[in-house]
Amino acid sequence: MKFTEEHEWLREEGNVIVVGITEHAAEQLGDIVFVELPEEGTEVTKDDDIVVIESVKAASDILAPLDGEIVEVNSALADNPSLVNDDPLGDGWFFKMTASDPSQMEDYMDEAAYKEMIG
């Protein structure tokens, strides 16, 4: 897995990359009450705002971590946004995408570096 400074995680599954937020981010946001996901087939550019999360504390945008295309979204979050709090690294994922430039993954931290950052 790779981690961004914005507290997103990226996990490669074959040629698809699964994206979600870290446990640290989920804890900071508090209880998540709404998640707005992008549409499948959406072409994104790195750093585009593509997911909106609303919690009891705040609303936050999730940025596209890579250039590419959204190929699947986690539709379970529409009915149960608290999955992000309950299992942020598992069932609480946001979307899957293909990367048009997989080398962009090299820009991100490994788990040890992320843990050091949130220290």
CATH 2.40.50.100 is held by the domain 2-102: yes
- Successive 10-residue mean pLDDT values, the chain, 119 residues: 96 96 95 97 97 94 96 97 97 97 94 96
Would you state the pLDDT for residue 83?
97
Would you state the pLDDT for residue 41?
98
Domain boundaries along the sequence of the chain: 2-102
Q: Model's pTM, two decimal places?
A: 0.95
Task: Tell which residue, 70, 66, 77, 88, has the closest CA to residue 7.
Answer: 88
> 61-73 pLDDT, tens per residue?
999 999 999 999 9
Q: Supply 69's token pair.
A: 């295309």
Would you state the pLDDT for residue 109?
97
